[in-house]
Amino acid sequence: MRMWLLQTGTWKANVKEDEEIKGFSHFVNLHYMGAAEYEIKSHCGEMVNPLALSLERIYMNKNNFDFFPMLKRKDALGRQMYVYCRKEQVEEIKKLIREQIKHEYVKRPALLGLYLNKSAEQLEDVTNVRLREFWWDIENDVVIFFGDNRKEQIQLVVDTLYEKNKPAEKPSFLKKVRNLFKKAV
């Protein structure tokens, strides 16, 4: 596993409560990634949206995902670093994040290490266009962020999209049999 294709963003200051939740972009201003956001060929040869695919894998498998704190990582404002990923991959993801912070080996600069070295004043500067405070590994379906309050926003997106798109429950065999008897009577 490698951490290579990262979508970055900054948290929105003002979120419209009445606006429909369609993805992480409800709470995050996602930065431009170029063609990587929209144009990846699937194994069938057709163009697919990797952001939508990653988000779908996350919300459709939400029971396998959880929030994990990176205990020794806090930003200058004292906010805890969290990773939202599959439970079985947390140790591997933590190792990848440590490497990411040291070396920034990604397709485009994610600036995670730089974020950790910023002062509190720099983190609070809303005019800083190079600030990244949200990292989404769209190949491995991992979200990295700082702050306890952001967990609720991530979970709200995942839960909302799951409820909108969950598969219809298939009637059990017994229900099918009962329905046959009801129709026969």
Domain of residue 143: give its range.
6-184
- Judged by DSSP in three states, 175 sits in helix
Looking at the domain assignment, is residue 113 inside a domain? yes
Number of domains in the chain: 1
pLDDT at 107 (0 to 100): 47
Nearest to 8 by CA among 176, 159, 145: 145
pLDDT below 70 — which residues of the chain? 2-4, 34-47, 101-131, 171, 184-185
In a domain, 57, yes or no: yes
Give dist(CA 11, CA 2) in Å, integer: 25
The model carries a pTM of 0.76
In a domain, 1, yes or no: no
